[in-house]
Chain A
Amino acid sequence: MTPADSRDHTVPPRLVTVNLLGAVEHPALDGSPYRIDRNGRPYVPTGDGGIVLGLELGDSAFALDADHAAPGACLVHADPAARQALAAYACVGNEVRVRTGEAAGARGVVLGKRGEEGRVVAGFAAADLARMRPGDEVSVRARGQGWRPPGLPPEVAVMNLDPGILPLLPIGLPGAGPGPETGSGTGTAAVAVGVRVTVPSRVAGNGIGRPAAAWDLDLQLPPPGPDGAGDVALGDLVAVSDLDVRYNMGYRRGWITVGIVVHGASPLPGHGPGITPLLTGPAAALRPHPDAAGHAGLTAAALQLQ
């Protein structure tokens, strides 16, 4: 017989931090060098995993003719189950530390993750990244899953977010004072989030139906116009309407999901710039404030990666 539950549920549980081991990924291809793009043309995928140089937070997701290129190094683990755990437990903002190789000791930050086999995208200062090579061991200080910031409306779920970087993002919690960018947050029961754009759920591609704690969601967005209209940048926050990602990612009318852009565009049909989901809730409790021209998401300066 189980004794009555005597825990005080008004006290939030304490978070645990787990040191995970990742290895810098080497890009991998199967027997053919070609993939087929959305127009039926073969192409050789570049930048799909591993270390990508010259791409930074704030760059357009369409800046390079690459496939799922991410700003930094992708971290994996040789054991498939450990690799899934690495992807599931790592959170945006977690500190990483290079343990081996020429860049040993360098500090980086988790910028997001990618799904299927599981990858963690870690950003580094450009000089540190240039000294790294595939196979280098990196420690990830994983912390954040299970966290609920004080003041978060009960209907809203947060995931994949290190508590330490909440102040660096344009997220305004009710009663916590104004958000850094939205100018709102006080006197309302809703979370106010500054985003680059809100897109409809019908553009959700690869990642739909998969668990948001371990997958990103590709957005099938067209390239920006000549004047930059419609562009999204790496590190931007983007909202998706009618999408609920609490238990797998799926369509739910009247729901909002906000994620951070973690990798760039892809020629593949059903793929595109990917977001790592951070917040999901009903539209009444989670309000994105799009600002196509002035939005600033996660930046290298704020993360002290320069």
Chain B
Amino acid sequence: MKVATNAARLVRQVLTGEVWPPLADRHAYRVGPDGQPFLLPGMGGVTLDVHCGDPATGYASDHLEPGASIRHRDPGANMALQFLTCVGNQVRVVSGPAAGATGHVIGQHAYVLADFTGPAAAELTTGDAVTVLAAGQGLVLPEHPQVVVKNCDPGLLAAMPGGTRPDGRLEVHVAARVPAEAIGAGAGMASEYANTDLMGAYAGLGADLSLGLEGLRIGDLVALADADHRYGRGYRPDYLTIGVISTGQCMMFGHGPGPSTLMSGPASAFYLVDDGDANLARWLHPQPAQSAQDPAVAP
């Protein structure tokens, strides 16, 4: 049974932002796990070539942010944009040659990250203005009071498989399960902001660094073991957090592909289904022949 929500009581708010440039300093290099200095692109601006469903790792990149990276110029407005924007929200380009193109939010990373399929992204660049239709914060599942939902567009939740099981647990399909040892940078931060880097996904590096996460894809739904993200991000045995992989390849040690948080609660409140297709690409960016109605923006 589809999970019941208070979606009808949520507001949809119009927010604005602009594509924000990559940022660097004059020292240029960062350092990898074995002391390797590197200078690699991936964070900020518009990153082409990588979309939901594509491998998260295996690129010559650091903190790979697929698609457009978006901020607001005013610091207070920017925090509102970062906190209120939810995965699955629609993003529309309103200036520049890509004006009119629509994409979807795939996560947060101190930038709002928006994936655009098709040729539109190639015309998008720093400074282009976008409109975000923000909705999702405040989402409640009345039949699952122990589960806290955040950063999740109600339309996305409606499109995801699973729901309330006869035994009362919340069924969620996940493409991967992540051990607590993998939790990297982002621990201790607010779970409505940025994401949680996962270590152990350094494709091509030593076995002593691997936690078996090299197969993650952008947009994958993942389950984080022993993670409580209800009021921040912390380690708590027998809790579970569901996230969506919103960033990819990292060379910087202690960092890695990262899930943005979608829901969190006691592990006993969830029923996980291992499903290799549990990816945003299946629900937000279906192939053109299947995209008669976009579930994430359906009324």
Contacts and interface: CB of A to CB of B under 8 A. Distances in A.
Q: Do A and B come from one complex?
A: yes
Interface of A: 36-40, 200-210, 218, 220, 242, 244, 246-255, 268-271
Given A251-B209, A270-B233, A205 B226 contact: no
Given A40-B230, A201-B181, A202-B226, A251 B200 contact: yes
A38 B255 contact: no
Nearest to B210: A253
B231 A269 contact: yes
B140 interface: no
Given A247-B33, A251-B209, A270-B187, A208 B231 contact: no
B46 interface: no
Contacts of A205: 187-188, 234-235
B181 A242 contact: yes
A250 B185 CA distance: 9
Interface string B243-271: 00000000011110000000000000000
A206 B235 contact: no
Given A205-B234, A209-B197, A269-B233, A247 B31 contact: yes
Contacts of A246: 35
Given A209-B255, A269-B231, 12 more contacts: A38-B234, A202-B226, A208-B183, A209-B197, A209-B252, A220-B235, A244-B33, A244-B253, A247-B32, A252-B209, A269-B229, A271-B234
Contacts of A206: 187-189
B257 to A, nearest CB: 13
Given A206-B188, A248-B252, A40 B183 contact: no
Given A201-B181, A251-B211, A208 B232 contact: no
A251 B184 contact: yes
B222 interface: no
B180 interface: yes
7 contacts: A202-B180, A208-B185, A208-B187, A218-B188, A247-B253, A250-B255, A252-B209
B188 A250 contact: no
Nearest to B37: A247
Contacts of B231: 36-40, 269
B228 interface: yes
Interface string B174-186: 0000011111111
B278 interface: no
B234 A208 contact: no
Given A247-B253, A248-B252, A250-B199, A210 B209 contact: no
B208 interface: yes
Contacts, number: 110
Contacts of A200: 181
Nearest to A116: B188
Nearest to A41: B231
The 7 closest A-B pairs by CB, nearest first: A209-B185, A269-B234, A270-B188, A206-B188, A209-B254, A250-B254, A269-B232
A210 to B, nearest CB: 7
A36 B181 contact: no
B252 A270 contact: no
A251 B182 contact: yes
Contacts of B188: 205-207, 218, 268-271
A243 to B, nearest CB: 9
B165 interface: no
Contacts of A253: 207-209
Nearest to A37: B231
Contacts of B235: 202-203, 205, 220, 270
Nearest to A42: B231
Contacts of A203: 235
Contacts of B183: 202, 204, 208
B234 A209 contact: no
Given A38-B228, A205-B234, A250 B33 contact: yes
Contacts of B208: 252-255
Interface in B207-247: 207-209, 211, 226, 228-236
Contacts of A244: 33, 253
Which of B34, B183, B233 is packed against the most chain A CB atoms within 10 Å?
B183
A206 B230 CA distance: 16
Contact of A270 (B181, B199, B209, B234): B234
A39 B253 CA distance: 30
Contacts of B35: 246-247
A155 to B, nearest CB: 12
A210 B185 contact: yes
Contacts of B234: 38, 205, 220, 268-271
